Amino acid sequence: MADLEALAGRVRAAIPLTRHLVFRYTGFDGDALTLAAPLAPNHNDKGTFFAGSQVALLTLAGWSCTTLIAEAVIAGTDDPGRAVDVVAVEGSQQYRLPLKDDLTVTACPAPGQRERFNERLIRRGKATLTVQARATNPAGDTVCEFQGLYLARLVD
């Protein structure tokens, strides 16, 4: 969890809005990243989880997952000190259920993406990754599905 705590600190320091989303990372197994956020600071006019908060958290989860995977790729090379910069390229989301509770997000690369991403990032210094993410309620039901495309670049 040390990497996650460090990433959370970087994100909260560098991206002010994320402090108001009151998110916390809850796990990363090298492939899937999870985060959680409470309803209280993220409710809407209906007392349910604001769509804008959901999509901001899903976008952040995809970015975080891509960043950790890219950093792990670089850490395994002969020049492991290089920094990686990740940006969102596109995204889409489908809201399935209203949520009157706290939110959990799970984000991981789409099937078959990892090998190509790793190889291109090392060979070309940049690569895109398609990430799939789900927002779920405490019962595990999907409340929002998200697909995002992210671009990772080595920083000179």
We find the least distance from the C-beta atom of residue 155 to a copy of itself, in angstroms, to be 10
Q: Which two tokens stand for residue 104?
A: 């959990």
Contact status: 142 vs a copy of itself (CB under 8 A): no
φ, ψ for residue 149, nearest 5 deg: -115, 130
Decide whether 95 or 114 has the Cβ nearer to a copy of itself: 95
The CA-based dihedral angle spanning residues 64, 65, 68, 72, taken in that order and rounded to the nearest 10 degrees? -170
Contact status: 60 vs a copy of itself (CB under 8 A): yes
We find the least distance from the C-beta atom of residue 54 to a copy of itself, in angstroms, to be 9
Contact status: 21 vs a copy of itself (CB under 8 A): yes
Alpha helices in the chain (DSSP H): 2-14, 16-21, 51-75, 114-124
Contact status: 99 vs a copy of itself (CB under 8 A): no
User: Cα angle at 62 between 106 and 141, to 5 degrees?
Assistant: 25
We find the least distance from the C-beta atom of residue 137 to a copy of itself, in angstroms, to be 16
d(CA 127, CA 117): 6
How many C-beta neighbours within 10 Å does residue 153 have?
A: 16
Residues 73-92 that bind a copy of itself (CB under 8 A): 85, 87-92
d(CA 21, CA 40): 10
Decide whether 123 or 155 has the Cβ nearer to a copy of itself: 155
Contact status: 20 vs a copy of itself (CB under 8 A): yes
**Contact set with a copy of itself (CB under 8 A):** 10-11, 14-18, 20-21, 41-46, 50-53, 55-57, 59-60, 63, 85, 87-95, 98
